[in-house]
Structure 1
């Protein structure tokens, strides 16, 4: 009997390497396919839908067990909405969400309740995510009450252990949220998310509202907790430095779409999508040794288009300096052009062109690259996609200024002519009344010609001589 058990143990041990060499699909914790989330816009008495805000419009990605996926992009690109949808805090409009091989896309509230302990979320605002009327002990112990879990040693002891795990004192159990700083409140939110030992944690910009020194502490804390508890993170952020520090793979979103998905080394060293390259060029380099060096900075002009009516084809073609006709008409699929690096672009960077026959740039596409000195103001104006419009406005301003100058000159000539006419009309009157005193000048008539002070000198001397003769006569 013992020999049989030994044989079974040997056989089980022999299967372990086979499991480790299994396909990567067995290690996928979360799989998202074609995920969409549209918010309807309704008008009228009958509240008919007239349009929709396409916050998330068809994205595909996978999150493997134990890794960290970072999601970056401009404000309004759908990052936070995507995080709330994959945790089922909001219902998706379309697509599928699979967690550990189980489709959770259409599960009801009751069906999602058992999975809540495995999927948790850290919210962005540390001030708005905590109830000010509840104590810290009540906030952190809420997951235990809702799930009906009784931890070993009691709830209070477990909550104090969690507070100590995130760097707070166990004595803070009876305090209220207003007694803590922003960084401490974020730590409380992390403790609440980790209470039930989840498998997946979605962190929606966990450090964006914190000071730089506190950001480093929270990021290092999350990194340590991942190593200790084996967590899987989806971190949504706009700080590219933070994302590079904590992420294994990074997804770049633009207007509800994933335009590039790659590991952090490939993405930061050789970005393939023009939008990703523009994001990377915006990261400042705080190195005093590079103060006089030249760096390539890409200036994207204009705002992100409205998600209510996104552009046709590639959604970035309205701001891209490489956009051609195919970019305006055909939407590029998300393809793996390099091992582990997927990109949705017809004319990618650092890779073979997907549409080499289309070389004519669109009229709106201009060279938006400018070489500037790090830490200095650029001396030459940048070439922008709106260069023709700016040049037109400059010409219009010059024409307006020239018109104003011409009108001013005309008015000056008219005033001079009026003054000359008044002088000619006054000359005969002076001849007839030579013995009478000089007439007083009309103040309403302005003389635009400035008199020469040297010409006034003889008149002043004549007046002094006349006054002298008058005094001698009186004597």
Structure 2
């Protein structure tokens, strides 16, 4: 998509490109966030005493280089929009620091932030509610000039008409009202307002989520073209992974107020390391009719996102993760760089060596979650023992099972109990059928035989358990070890 060149636009584009080239060459950090937190208090009673807090953003760290685009993704309610309002200082942080061009702007007042507003602007999520319906488009787009006391060359009206043409609108729309425009046109008006003072950083809070799919592509292409021409730096907040992949240089994945993975675009989409990132990637539909009958590796996360009022201890994703162990419940993982340019907060990352190999006993929640995860995903993507696509050796699954306590890994006793219960249910169903047909109910002898078979199955399971405790290695389910023994016991019980 090409943007028509207007009078004065070429000079602005040239100056913006020069600033971008200079910042990129020097590796300048435009925005730096350290330990950022925002807790919204919960008050009750006549005296409005605080009884708790919503941990919307709970300690995040990242940097944004000049001229790059940082994408932020995550589920609804994970704190993305709150983070965007914090770095533009529309909200007061609870803790942490925000540095813009090396200057601490964390607690600047209204007077101190006024000159900074020229360099930091925001595109809001809803194009319908972010524009005042009582004001004309000329008044809305020209508001930054009046608030900052800036008189552009040629007057405010001429500059507003130029901005409208830059974003693909007709300059003659200057005197129209927002209700006369479609959703995509309103979003373009919001973009024109954000670009009025030629900012250095633009925070776009889901700029295309409220738009039709055909309009989304136009707005995304517009943002790309404006970045090239004006040398802008973007922080784009979205939940559409396809949009984020198209426009971002680096991507941060948020979950319940925390950044769980931060990596460049290619590394994140090729070899995601955090289980939550992998679950998000599996949810992206593939628009290929030829693959409609192929088996999907869609990961279904069990349960809902925990409440930010009382987030879980340790890793906040452990209540829904299929790899969670005891260390995930007790110790919070730090966001560390496991590969160049890829930082992950996980004790058991995907596509990389296990960071806590001594802890392999799955939590009960992890056992339930693993039932909803395809086998190819549980095995870690590539086959066990084979290197990943980026050359990183994938950890084998069998040694982890060998290190686990036998009492946790041998399911034969549980399966034998389940077999006995199934026999009892079958007996009751048989008796009910016989009573319905008017036939005499069988005596107690078959029930005694079935109970004896269940006892024998339990003894066999106990023998397997004792043999494994004596030193034999436990094999995963489905191999010729305990899984087969339990299956044979169940079959013999059924007979």
Aligned residue runs from structure 1 range 207-356, under 5 A: 207-356=208-357
Rounded Cα–Cα distance in structure 1 between residues aligned with 2:23 and 2:277? 37
Q: Give the deviation of 1:283 after TM superposition.
A: 0.5
Rounded Cα–Cα distance in structure 2 between residues aligned with 1:371 and 1:344? 23
User: Is 1:361 the equivalent of 2:362?
Assistant: yes
Rounded Cα–Cα distance in structure 1 between residues aligned with 2:264 and 2:136? 41
Q: Give the deviation of 1:293 after TM superposition.
A: 2.9
1:163 aligned partner: 164
1:137 aligned partner: 138
Q: Say if 1:325 and 1:361, in contact at 8 Å, map to a contact too.
A: yes
Q: Deviations over 1:96-142 (max 9, x none)?
A: 00000000001001110000010000000000000000000000000
Q: Rate the CA distance shift 1:315–1:126 in 2: closer, same or farther, 3 A.
A: same
2:97 aligned partner: 96
Q: Deviations over 1:180-228 (max 9, x none)?
A: 0000000000000000000000000000000000000000000000000
Q: Rate the CA distance shift 1:313–1:244 in 2: closer, same or farther, 3 A.
A: same
2:399 aligned partner: none
Rounded Cα–Cα distance in structure 1 between residues aligned with 2:239 and 2:293? 28
Q: Rate the CA distance shift 1:85–1:21 in 2: closer, same or farther, 3 A.
A: closer
Q: Give the deviation of 1:289 after TM superposition.
A: 2.8
Rounded Cα–Cα distance in structure 2 between residues aligned with 1:21 and 1:40? 43
Q: Say if 1:299 and 1:370, in contact at 8 Å, map to a contact too.
A: no
Q: Say if 1:30 and 1:97, in contact at 8 Å, map to a contact too.
A: yes
Q: Give the deviation of 1:364 after TM superposition.
A: 1.3
- Unpaired runs of at least 5, structure 2: 1-20, 377-413, 439-495
User: Is 1:39 the equivalent of 2:40?
Assistant: yes
Rounded Cα–Cα distance in structure 2 between residues aligned with 1:19 and 1:190? 23
Q: Say if 2:24 and 2:67, in contact at 8 Å, map to a contact too.
A: no
Q: Give the deviation of 1:241 after TM superposition.
A: 0.1
Q: Say if 2:249 and 2:265, in contact at 8 Å, map to a contact too.
A: yes
Rounded Cα–Cα distance in structure 2 between residues aligned with 1:249 and 1:72? 11
Rounded Cα–Cα distance in structure 1 between residues aligned with 2:62 and 2:347? 20
2:195 aligned partner: 194
SS at match of 2:296: strand
1:154 aligned partner: 155
Q: Say if 1:40 and 1:52, in contact at 8 Å, map to a contact too.
A: yes
Q: Give the deviation of 1:371 after TM superposition.
A: 7.0
2:62 aligned partner: 61
Rounded Cα–Cα distance in structure 2 between residues aligned with 1:165 and 1:142? 17
SS at match of 1:323: coil
Q: Give the deviation of 1:18 after TM superposition.
A: 12
SS at match of 1:326: helix
Q: Say if 2:24 and 2:65, in contact at 8 Å, map to a contact too.
A: no
Q: Give the deviation of 1:296 after TM superposition.
A: 1.8
Rounded Cα–Cα distance in structure 2 between residues aligned with 1:111 and 1:21? 30
Q: Rate the CA distance shift 1:32–1:358 in 2: closer, same or farther, 3 A.
A: same
Q: Say if 2:69 and 2:247, in contact at 8 Å, map to a contact too.
A: yes
Rounded Cα–Cα distance in structure 1 between residues aligned with 2:298 and 2:125? 30
Q: Give the deviation of 1:287 after TM superposition.
A: 1.3
Rounded Cα–Cα distance in structure 2 between residues aligned with 1:18 and 1:137? 34
Q: Say if 2:24 and 2:66, in contact at 8 Å, map to a contact too.
A: no
Rounded Cα–Cα distance in structure 1 between residues aligned with 2:202 and 2:63? 14
1:418 aligned partner: none
Rounded Cα–Cα distance in structure 2 between residues aligned with 1:189 and 1:19? 26
Q: Which runs of 4+ in 1 moved over 4 A?
A: 17-22
Q: Rate the CA distance shift 1:313–1:191 in 2: closer, same or farther, 3 A.
A: same
Aligned residue runs from structure 1 range 6-17, under 5 A: none
Q: How many residue pairs align between the two structures?
A: 368
Q: How does the TM-score come out when normalised to structure 1?
A: 0.74
1:430 aligned partner: none
Q: Report the RMSD for the aligned CA atoms in angstroms.
A: 2.5
Rounded Cα–Cα distance in structure 1 between residues aligned with 2:145 and 2:375? 56
SS at match of 1:242: helix
Q: Say if 1:297 and 1:371, in contact at 8 Å, map to a contact too.
A: no
Rounded Cα–Cα distance in structure 2 between residues aligned with 1:18 and 1:246? 21
1:83 aligned partner: 84
Q: Deviations over 1:23-67 (max 9, x none)?
A: x4xx10000000000000011111111100000000000000000
Match of residue 370, structure 1, among 357, 371, 374: 374
Q: Give the deviation of 1:297 after TM superposition.
A: 1.7
2:126 aligned partner: 125
SS at match of 2:343: strand
User: Is 1:109 the equivalent of 2:110?
Assistant: yes
Rounded Cα–Cα distance in structure 1 between residues aligned with 2:94 and 2:295? 47
